């Protein structure tokens, strides 16, 4: 699994001109599922992200976790994180998980986040979404379970 995590001041998802999800301070998580991923990958990814100290303390140092700042989370499915651009001009997405597997693991990951976080919003799986955000920092981190 891959997660592009953006520390945000606010983020939202809009579908067909209507805001369907929004958060304040916290993380926008763009989540990609690979064809070899399993629940164990979601468990490992959330455990890393949940405890990652990427929020600033009173001295401006990144010493605080999501829980330390009572942060919110917006999770959006993003199969394009598995784009392979090595050949030609059109990305290949053959490393992305089958939609049924991806949906199952996306929903499982969201359950994990809800278990530990006060406010969780989600995008709509496989929908045409417009994602808006104000990146805090900017601060963006890529997590890949193959590298954790």
Catalytic residues: 78-80
Which residues does 47 contact at the CB level (< 8 Å), separation at least 6? none
From residue 2, alpha-carbon distances to 32, 68, 136 in Å are 5, 24, 21
φ/ψ of residue 96, rounded to 5: -70, 150
Sign (positive or negative) of CA dihedral 100, 111, 34, 125:
positive
Rounded CA gap, 74 and 35, in Å?
Answer: 23
């Amino acid at each position: 699994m891959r997660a592009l995590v953006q520390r945000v001041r606010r983020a939202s998802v809009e579908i067909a001109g209507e805001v369907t999800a929004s958060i304040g301070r916290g993380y926008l998580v763009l989540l990609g599922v690979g064809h070899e991923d399993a629940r164990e990958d979601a468990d490992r990814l959330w455990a890393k992200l949940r405890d990652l100290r990427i929020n600033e303390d009173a001295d401006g140092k990144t010493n605080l976790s999501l829980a330390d700042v009572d942060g919110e989370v917006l999770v959006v499915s993003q199969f394009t994180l598995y784009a392979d651009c090595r050949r030609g001009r059109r990305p290949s997405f053959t490393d992305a998980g089958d939609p049924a597997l991806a949906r199952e693991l996306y929903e499982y990951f969201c359950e994990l986040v809800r278990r530990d976080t006060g406010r969780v919003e989600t995008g709509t799986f496989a929908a045409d979404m417009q994602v808006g955000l104000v990146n805090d920092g900017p601060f963006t981190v890529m997590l890949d379970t193959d590298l954790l």
